[in-house]
Structure 1
Amino acid sequence: MALIPNPTVAPLADPQGPQPWQDIGVVCPFDMALDHELWRWMPEGVNLVFTRTPYYDQPVGLDMAEEISDHGEIQDAVRSLVAIRPAVVTYACTSGSFVHGVEGARKLSAAMVSAGAPAAVTTSEGLLMALDALGVSRVAVATPYLAELTNRLTSFLEQGGKSVVSHEGLGLDRDIWTVPYATTCGLIRQADRPDAEAVFVSCTNLPTYGLIAYMERELGKPVITANQVTAWSGLRLMGREAVGPEQLLVQAAAK
């Protein structure tokens, strides 16, 4: 039924808005299942726009990391995002950005910029930025990976000027997003050492948001994770701060 205007009622002012938003373009691997987790670090007024790399039918390992780091495919993904004019584009994958070392991660960001990103950062570059922001030079590493990928991550960190005092992995090559917090907490405890200044938990497909502050209180040191440094570094390039109550990286950046 059509509404009939009432001439005795003063017209209402049009609603204000929409509010201005800043966009972060997110390129992630085809099997990324944790879009919702990245959102948890976003402050008001920041929007995430996701796209994915092509599908590869193989287990998580070195071969897959090399496939999903293909510059041409990532540049195609970036081009699918630039129409919305994001402030920054991030490549949300740890293994795909550390697999070719520090120089490989830098070249990947440069490739994204050449495809039209106004600024770009990868998860692994965000990791080094976060360790520097925390003043950490000695780090313990916890991963869900097979040994071949964990070893490649330790090599990346050493190239980045960090000392890896220990590393532990779950030995998984699929379904990483299904790992429960209890398993990851046990892995972090196993990886930690007294001389480690922080623990890094790798893989953007491993859920971690809800355990970070809990494990930091238990260990008395920063516990930084792949999705955390992905969100934090992208926001930092925009001049914004991540949301993460009681998380040491977020608190340090806010000071």
Structure 2
Amino acid sequence: MTSLGILYPGHAAEDDYPRIEQLLGSDVRLTVVHTDTAEDAHRVDALLDLGSAPRLAAGVEELRLSGAEAVLWASAGGSFVHGAQGAHEQVRALAMAAGVPASSTSFAFAHAAREIGARRVAIGSACPDDVVALFAEFLKETGTEAVAVRGSAAVTAAEPAGWDYDGVLALARAADHPDADAVLLPDTALHTAAHLTELEKDLAKPVLTASQVTVWEALRLTDRRVNAPRLGSLFTREPVIQA
């Protein structure tokens, strides 16, 4: 049994994680612990507070006691707004507190894009343009070029949490670009776990989503590789060796 710990901000699309646990069809257990959110808002100041050390520390002990072998901060916005260096310091502090390897959804996207050989990507997010631009900058700092960036008017996580497949697909299609090797949907508030194969079929290219890459990154930290076709190309492809 491989036990993975997920620190999830507030409540929105956390039910993606038990669904992913089922779709993995393996001896993997996902434990989700919720962190406190002072304000549900897609603003830089609110996201900086969301990923602050005191808020994350409150949930780490519970995950440590659960026997988690790796801990993931399941928030892209609560990570990339700190910049690449700040995000590194954030996960370093998590790892020290948990006593196990740690990472975040932001780094999961960077590593997953590299895994499937996606050097250029399109980003579609429910966050406003100024916030999504920070994610594009984060990816650039970590070696991935965003050739298209599409934000949304959603001001809270609660809004995209209610989107159905058509809403998620519309966001992905609006973000897609002919030069993009993959489409990235970085919102952990989006329900995507049930739709990954459909999204990739409709867009005819790999799609990386927040809950998907978060779990993949946690498995990576424990040196586990699970073949799970219903979780998209990321869980079926052999890793690409990049020069």
TM-score, length basis structure 1: 0.85
1:22 partner amino acid: T
Equivalent residue for 1:208?
A: 192
Maintained 8 Å contact 2:193/2:231: no
* Secondary structure in 2 matching 1:80: helix
- 2:31 is the counterpart of 1:49: yes
| CA positional deviation for 1:144 | 0.6
1:219 partner amino acid: L
| CA positional deviation for 1:40 | 2.7
Equivalent residue for 1:183?
A: 167
Aligned pair partner of 1:248 in 216, 219, 233: 233
Equivalent residue for 1:220?
A: 204
Distance 1:122 1:61, change over 3 A: same
Q: Any idea what the Cα deviations from partners look like across 1:62-91, whole Å, max 9, x if unmatched?
A: 122101111132123112221222111111
Measured in 1, the distance between the counterparts of 2:169 and 2:92 equals 35
Equivalent residue for 2:104?
A: 122
Structure 2 counterparts to residues 98-247 of structure 1, below 5 A = 98-174=80-156, 175=158, 176-242=160-226, 243-245=228-230, 247=232
Percent identical pairs in the alignment equals 27
Measured in 2, the distance between the counterparts of 1:185 and 1:89 equals 29
Q: Tell which has more relative contact order, 1 or 2 (C-alpha 8 A, sep 6+).
A: 2
2:7 partner amino acid: V
- 2:64 is the counterpart of 1:82: yes
Maintained 8 Å contact 1:65/1:96: yes
Maintained 8 Å contact 1:185/1:211: no
| CA positional deviation for 1:113 | 1.2
Measured in 2, the distance between the counterparts of 1:33 and 1:218 equals 25
Aligned residues: 234
| CA positional deviation for 1:27 | 0.9
* Secondary structure in 2 matching 1:81: helix
Maintained 8 Å contact 1:62/1:99: yes
Maintained 8 Å contact 2:161/2:189: yes
Maintained 8 Å contact 1:26/1:50: yes
RMSD between aligned residues: 1.8
| CA positional deviation for 1:33 | 2.4
| CA positional deviation for 1:35 | 2.3
* Secondary structure in 2 matching 1:232: helix
